Structure 1
Amino acid sequence: MDSPVGASPYRPRRPRLARRPEWAGRNYTLLTAAAIVTNLGSQGAMIAAAFAVLESGGDAGDVGLVAAARTVPLVLFLLIGGALADRLPRHRVMVAANAVNCLSQASFAVLVLTGEPELWQMMALTALGGTAHAFFSPASEGMLMSSVSGAQVGRAFALYRMAMQGAGIGGAALGGALIALFGPGWVLAIDAAAFLVAGALRAFLDVSHVPPRGPGEGMLADLRDGWREVTGRPWLWSIVVQFAVVNAMVSAAEAVYGPLVARDELGGPGPWGLALAAFGAGTVGGALVMMRWRPRRMLLAGTLSVFPLALPSAGLAVPLPAVGLAAVMFLTGVSIEVFGVSWMTSLHQEIPEEKLSRVSAYDWLGSVGMIPLATALAGPAESAFGRSTALWGCSALIVLLTAAVLTVPDVRRLTRRTSEKPEKTGAPVARTAPDPVSPDEVRPV
């Protein structure tokens, strides 16, 4: 049928491409893409390193030595890494750390592919990677926090964490499959290539919005300044102390007791693998929740969400059947993301931009500093008190420390600000409409 005289014929409109949110700027997009790449490679590489040790004739103790070789320099150099990241352009620190990780993993891969590597060689290369990570982590967290601003920071952090967690789940699954097909050496080589790609992405970060750093008074003065920033905020140091113990208890339960309970009570490694997969799925679910939920008292909401972290230890002490344990681990994954996003949002709001990396370094040190001790003492504790008692002890410490943190007034009262001054972060304020306010609205660790 002909159209009426003077009327334009119907032309279907082309669908408009989804517009990137304004809070997802160039730096944020580059940081998220690079984090996905590195997590895809690193999760598989962790499994590959363990199999490389075993295939070279090592035993479980040797696997533990290689893992410890990464953790010890991470703990030793974190504070220096944080101070350095607040002195130098953070993206340069990140790129340099990625380059070191690329070289160490490539060397590890060559050793595995060309012969039987010695234990000391694997420990040395792993220690080199741990040292690089000590410099990378505070710079990365400071760079991420300085790259977002405005009312949508919680959503930005939630999406970033969801991308990292999803990549970690996929990387572990893909890494395990590739090790079975091609061996650990090629997975280590893939991880080296992932660091190369991620470093290239991070080299394009724009730091023009960050105010120039002054010469300062030296590294020790910077560390003292960061210490004063932490100890001068009761909500900050109390939660750092809390998670020094919480992370240690969770690590002892999940790294040591979990596999033992699965072997002795649940029929083998399958149920424990299911539980860990459920935890990974829970972290993604928790990040999705935090993309919509913006609690007004963010630290109170985050701290309350720490209580469920006591459940896996209790579930292993009973022990729960595989399905029940998986449900508990899923809830734990959701809870840790609620805390993580609330914690990052609090740090972003309250800490001056020029001190973010130093404060992040103290936070990281608290988070990982006691893990080697806790995992080393897990065996003797089991021998002395019994496995079930040791696991109930882990749960009790998590509950007690979390309840103690709730007695700190600033933890209960710290409130999300509805607007943020540009000079707070040094980043341009994103011009975005705020999310709809939920009825209850008036930072990992």
Structure 2
Amino acid sequence: MSLLGSSLAPVALAFAVLDASRSPGDLGIILAARMVPLLAFLLVGGATADRFSRRTVLVYANLGSALTQGGVAALLLTGHYSLLLVASLEVLSGVLAAFTTPALRGVVPQLVGKAQLRQANALLGSTSNATKVLGPSLSGILVVAAGSGPAIAFDALTYLLAAGCLARLSLPAGATTSRPSAVLTDIRDGWTEFRRIPWVWVVTVSSCLMNLVQTGTWQILGPTLTKQISGEATWGFVLSARGIGLLVMSTLMYRLMVRHLLRLGQLMSALGALPLLVLGTHLSAPWMIAAAFTAGLGSSVSGISWDTSLQEHVPAHVLSRVSSYDDLLSYIAIPIGQLSVGPFAQTFGGFTVITTTGIAYAAVAVIPLASTAVRRLPHAQADRVQPPIAHQVSRPAPQSPATLVNQAANDGNVKG
């Protein structure tokens, strides 16, 4: 439910800010306003998700997000856009997201057994990616026909519906525990575990560099340059094509058996450079849509392989904390990229910047494959005969090494 509304929101917010301010710089500030507090509170969010009920964390985070998105929608619907007010609401939204992301990864192993993690992540990916297929295109049409406010108002409503669904979620007894240790101690223990696993931090560093060069460029120059080439509505179709690619591959990943799942994910992630290169060379809308579809295929494999690898090989009781360090270090450079895109585009030109970004992104994506730990990490399900999922759904979370939905979301950032 939440992702259904969120699939409309990026297109609506981007054009709302661009139309109201006429400045890509305002959009960069608003996006950074959400990202900075998300980064600042991720470690606290991870410790909270490992300490308390993950269901409770998710319910309250979704309720809060409904309020913040509702506030943004109200400003747009009443014609009272203000950079300060919208940015302030996005700050609160970022804080809430910091508690949501680590909890989501930790919930999956509480609902299914270790042998079903890849299938579970593939099903989750298929469900969430399906919302991205029609959402952005509908949002692009809605922006043209009625404005940005209604799309963001719908996003706020879906957060409320999501909170209601999560409130009914039944987790196995004893799957989460409340410990007397201090939050700072929990955070330090999470860092120790994160640092102990070579393949985790190698891929995380690569993701940091990928997000540095790609996310801000895609979020800001993507809609700006697409509008110059073929109009506002095309950007929605580009995002929908990417969503179709995500959906197709996540469906295939349910059946695909690979001995080295993480290795495949890193190779496929390099396909994310294609939309940047196509847009940078002024190719027409059909080429942009095809490139976005291909990038979606790669992003889906990358996201599912990463979530499954974490859940299979990271101990369940520290999974949310390790995930929070992964997210923090992966996303920490995003605000730098978002704030830098505008000045770089003004100095060198938007098409030059996005082409250079595409080349750098492809190179950085394959760097982790130089690590033996990444190349040879085994997929725990590769040699197993899978029992029916229905036999596993009520199992408690594994206590031995095991263990998002991704988003490779429309925002375009890596692992989320």
Q: TM-score range by the shorter chain?
A: 0.7 to 0.9
- Correspondent of 2:252 among 286, 289, 301: 289
| Structure 2 counterparts to residues 76-95 of structure 1, below 5 A | 76-95=40-59
- Code of the residue aligned with 1:250 in structure 2: it is Q
Pairing 1:230–2:179 present: no
CA offsets 1:275-303 (integer angstroms, 9 cap, x no match):
33322211111112211112111111111
Closer/same/farther in 2, CA of residues 256 and 69 from structure 1, 3 Å limit = closer
Cα distance change, pair 383–236 in 1 and its aligned pair in 2 (3 A) = same
1:315 aligns with 2:285: no
Which residue of structure 2 lines up, in the alignment, with residue 373 of structure 1? 336
Map 1:152-191; keep pairs closer than 5 Å. 152-180=116-144, 182-191=146-155
Q: How far is 1:366 from its partner?
A: 2.7
Residue 86 of structure 2 aligns with an amino acid whose one-letter code is M
| Aligned-partner Cα distance in 2 for 1:219–1:158 | 33
Q: CA distance change for structure 1 residues 52 and 390 in 2, over 3 Å: closer, same or farther?
A: closer
- TM-fit CA distance, 1:220: 1.5
> In 2, distance between residues paired with 1:271 and 1:189?
22
Q: Is the 8 A contact 2:132 2:244 kept in 1?
A: no
Q: Specify the alignment match of 1:246 in structure 2.
A: 210
Pick which of 355-364 and 202-211 moved more: 202-211
Q: Where do 1:49-64 residues align within 5 Å? A: 49-50=13-14, 53=17, 57-60=20-23, 61-64=25-28
Residue 385 (structure 1) shift: 5.4
Structure 1 residue 416 corresponds to structure 2 residue 389: no
Q: CA deviation at 1:145?
A: 3.4
Secondary structure at 2:7 match in 1: helix
C-alpha distance in structure 2 between counterparts of 1:186 and 1:269, whole Å: 17
Q: Does 1:145 align with 2:109?
A: yes
Contact kept in structure 2, 1:40 and 1:170, CA below 8 Å? no
Aligned to 1:337: 300
Cα distance, 1:325 vs structure 2: 3.2
Residue 87 (structure 1) shift = 0.8
Tell me, yes or no, if the aligned pair for 2:27 and 2:220 is still in contact at 8 Å.
no
State the one-letter code of the partner of 2:210.
V
* Residue-pair matches, total: 393
Structure 1 residues 196, 318: CA separation in 2 closer, same or farther (over 3 Å shift)? closer
Unpaired runs of at least 5, structure 2: 387-391, 403-413
Find the partner of 1:69 among 29, 33, 42: 33
Are residue 42 (structure 1) and residue 6 (structure 2) matched? Answer: yes
Q: Provide closer, same or farther for how the CA distance between residues 273 and 355 of structure 1 changes in structure 2, counting only shifts above 3 A.
A: same
Percent identity over the alignment?
34
1:209 deviation in Å? 4.0
Q: Aligned to 1:342, what secondary structure does the other structure show?
A: helix
TM-superposition CA deviations, 1:282-330 (whole Å, max 9, x none): 1111112211112111111111212222333333343444333332222
Are the equivalent residues in 2 in contact too, given 1:40–1:172 (CA < 8 A)? no
Aligned residue in 2 for 1:349: 312
- Distance of aligned partners of 1:392 and 1:58 in 2 relative to their CA distance in 1, 3 Å threshold: closer
Larger relative contact order (Cα-Cα within 8 Å, sequence gap ≥ 6):
2
Partners of 2:241 and 2:272 in 1: how far apart? 14
Contact map agreement 1:73 1:127 (CA 8 A) in 2: yes
Q: Larger deviation: 121-130 or 292-301?
A: 121-130
**SS of corresponding position for 1:151:** helix
Query: Which 4+ residue blocks in structure 1 deviate beyond 6 angstroms?
Result: 420-424
- TM-score for the superposition, normalised by structure 2: 0.84
> How big is the shift at 1:70?
1.6
* In structure 2, distance between residues paired with 1:191 and 1:261: 26
Is 1:123 aligned to residue 123 of structure 2? no
Q: Which stretch shifts more, 160-169 or 373-382? A: 373-382
Residue 112 of structure 2 aligns to a residue whose secondary structure is coil
- Of 370, 373, 381, the residue aligned with 1:407 is 370
Q: Aligned letter for 2:398?
A: T
Change (3 A) 1:234 1:250: same
Structure-2 residue corresponding to 1:444:
415
Structure 1 residue 397: deviation in Å?
Answer: 2.9
Instruction: Say if 2:276 and 2:357, in contact at 8 Å, map to a contact too.
Output: yes
Bigger mean CA offset, 253-262 vs 155-164? 253-262
Cα pair 2:137 2:233 within 8 Å, conserved: no
**Cα distance in 1 between the residues matched to 2:279 and 2:90:** 31
Measured in 2, the distance between the counterparts of 1:275 and 1:191 equals 20
Is this contact kept in 2: 1:211–1:426, CA < 8 A? no
Residue in 2 that maps onto 1:362: 325
String of CA shifts for 1:227-273, please: whole Å, max 9, x gaps: 11111111100101111111232224423443454455x44456555
AA at the equivalent of 1:344: D
Distance 1:308 1:184, change over 3 A: closer
**2:398 is the alignment partner of 1:425:** yes
Larger radius of gyration: 1
**AA paired with 1:73?**
P
- After TM superposition, the structure 1 stretch with the greater mean CA deviation from structure 2, 414-423 or 39-48, is 414-423
Give a deviation string over 1:101-140, Cα, whole Å, max 9, x none.
1222333344444562543222222221221111111112
Q: 1:183 to 1:208 in 2, by over 3 A?
A: same
Secondary structure in 2 matching 1:425: coil
Counterpart AA for 1:425: P
**1:348-378: CA deviation from partner (whole Å, max 9, x where unpaired):** 1001111111111112223322122113223
Cα pair distance change 1:318/1:53, threshold 3 Å: closer
- Unpaired runs of 5+ residues, structure 1, are 1-36, 430-442
